[in-house]
Structure 1
Amino acid sequence: MPDVFRSRAFKSGLAYAGLFTVSAVILFAVVYWQTAGYMQNQLHGVIDHETQTLVGAYHEGGLAGLKKAIGDRLESGNNDNHYLLAVHDRRLAGDLPARAAVVGWSRAYRSVQPGDTMADRPDDGRIPLVLRGTTLPDGAVLVVARDAQQLAALRARLVDAVLWGLVVVLLLGAAGGALMGRAALRRVERINRVAGRIIDGDLSQRVPDSGRGDEFDHLARHLNRMLDQIERLMDSMRQVSSDIAHDLRTPLGRLRQGLDTAREQAQSPGDYRPAVDRAIAQTDQILETFSALLRIAQIESGSRRARFARVELSALVETLAETYAVVAEETAHVFSGDIQPGVAVRGDRELVTQALANLIENALTHTPPGTRIEMTLRTRDGAAVVSVADNGPGIPADARTKVTQRFYRLEASRTRPGNGLGLSMVAAVADLHEATLTLDDNAPGLIVSLRLPIVG
């Protein structure tokens, strides 16, 4: 529970409770002053009306008529109004003492009388009065007063309501803050448990999504995407390590065997030269394989996405077609291009160029002289489709899904130069660009297509 009180959610709850409390105080103050002011105005209105009525009685009957009017009112039993008619500090009529003969508005108190029937009796036995004194033409002072106990009781009730309201708001705010803190801590704790399992080595763990669509769910989705990327990178690292351990063992073994043979058979320093030349060539091939593996790993890490920009694909493919048309002539292949102008994609220009070059070089390397190779670019269903098609021997259907694996080579191609990583790199570039790589039968031959999203 102490963690709850230290949580930001609890503190935010208290802050909101404090803000609401201040707002409630302001609201209650406005209600208090408006209500009390309204009732006071009503009270003043009643006193003013009664004063005008008695002044009218004075004008009609003089002091005698006024005294009679005051006496009639007191005899009627209305104990809310009180009166005084005084001349030179001497009471002529009424139930108020002569000292109350003050001109203008004033306040005073009277004691509770046995006949009082008010609902809100004051605890101290003193009832507040609101008085208005008026000077008559003959110098007499007429005072009309009215009990203000209801107004005082209302003010007391409003003050009590404000205080109790503040207590309730603070309690609810503290309780709400604690509940919010506990709820937030539960979800944070779930994230911590997942993080702990990942630290222990289980990279398949993911942060649960509650489906509410709130900030924690957005955080969970971003964390899960990050964990997916980390898991892919770790898998790629393990794959690279496995590939190096298994697929580079053979060339390294051949290199060692050649050096051992040279050491045993060489009779003079000149006899070592052919073995050294072969060792250098094999070492260069191994280094090329290492470089290709590292490049594929870099592509699969996704770090190259930061370099994505607009790529004028039509111009790029046109340049590749012109370049490899010359190479095809040297290898006795028939190369042609059919390129739709004005096509652009978003991506890494260098990697897209490398991937398309690999497709062309694969076709040149693994088909016999005289083979027709055609490179095309078309837009289809919102995508740019680059295809390299040939009428050579093709690839068996059951091997098409395997040739993109690292170091996989068909039996017929093992006598040709290469390391079996060309199509693996193309597949990695396709994944990086969220593109689709397909290998299909060209009847005869093979057609390899790379489908990339286009941009306007």
Structure 2
Amino acid sequence: MRTSIRTRLTIATIGLALATAALALGTVYFITVAGVERHTRRDVQRELDSLVERWKAGGLDELVKMVNERVADPEHGGFAYLIAQEERLRIAGNVREWPRDEGTEDGQEPVSLEIRKLDTWVMKPVQLESITLGRHHLLVGRDSTDDATLIADLGKATLASLALVSFLTVAIGLGVSRNLLGRVESMRKKIARIIDGNRQERVEVSPHDDEFDELAAQFNRLLDENDRLLAQALDATNNIAHDLRTPLQRMHGRLEAALTARDTTPENRELLEALSADTHQLLDTFNGLLQLARLEGHELRRSMRPIEVDKLIEDVVDLYGPLAEDAGLELRVSVEPDLRVTADRQLLGQALANLIDNAMKYAPDGRSIEVEARRRGDAIEISVSDHGPGIPAPDRERVLDRLVRLEPSRSVPGTGLGLSFVAAVARLHGGTLELVDNDPGLRCTLHIPDEEGAKTPDLPSEAALEP
């Protein structure tokens, strides 16, 4: 599944912003936590050092006296003290007993101890340090309840900040992508309209004069140059038409006159008939190329108007019905009622005639040719099906090019321009030509937007084209 640039850019912007925010907030959180723990350990170590100095100065008695003073002092209410004998039995302090877990008493993590608070023993997490003083042991710690609360609150604040940053990042990312890629989408739609035939349109250039405006200006210059080259090509085609078609027509007329002359011998008549047929074939090919060039250059544009599909098909089938009957073929028509398209009636009718004529060339005797029309979604499908040899799947795109004739069809009269013309008419109407297998044979389907959903080029009205 294709992912749009807008989606990828939004995801990338949001991901980068969230990663940056998470890294920044995480760094602040862990630095703060480490600072709080370091500050607590420093206070504990400072208190331990002061007690050790008292012991060195006055021995155990002075140490016990200082510990009792500290326990009674409200300013040291957050500290835990314990002096113990060699067997770790309590001598003085506000801790009930020496920690049983010897491995964590000097660790980084707080240890749970029972501390006396107003004649009540309360279990508290304590960040502690201990030291051995001769035959006695000294333990000093600090209640880390407030630190734990601070760290928990900091964690909640970090998560809340990350959530807020995430929301703002998503909103900003969507806004930036919408503003940044909105112009790209506008350019894409405009280019699609130009490709569909609105060649007079140009991509809008804003007054911001940024990279998008430079791209739009360059693209508009490319379109102008393309129009100039196309106009030159059409002029050259018209000049060729004037310089070559008239002599060819005169040659064909003289050959026809020679064929009707009384003094033409049978041998010469046979040669003249062959030359006349070749000249006629050359004129047909030349006229087809000229008409296709004018169609693709929108020189054949006329007014687009709503037409009834059943009436169009009826007129074309009435024209080809007798020819099909003479060829031993049957034209079968199946048209849904109330089908309408906005189209150039003459061009669409000629395209349908080309499809029927092409089917008649390859349909075997005694078989039928089906002409059908139905609604499919927001388009009208007009199809012509035969039961001939068909076209191999790898060649179905190639036969829509000019002058392409597959090897089996070279013995059949034709110019190799019929399907090219039909495809050009389909594009002019905002539609497509599809070739599929009819098992056996070929099914050619014109997909033309219906009257309501038609996206045809903005063409001049019929009155505007009148001289």
**TM-score after normalising by structure 1:** 0.47
TM-score scaled by length of structure 2: 0.46
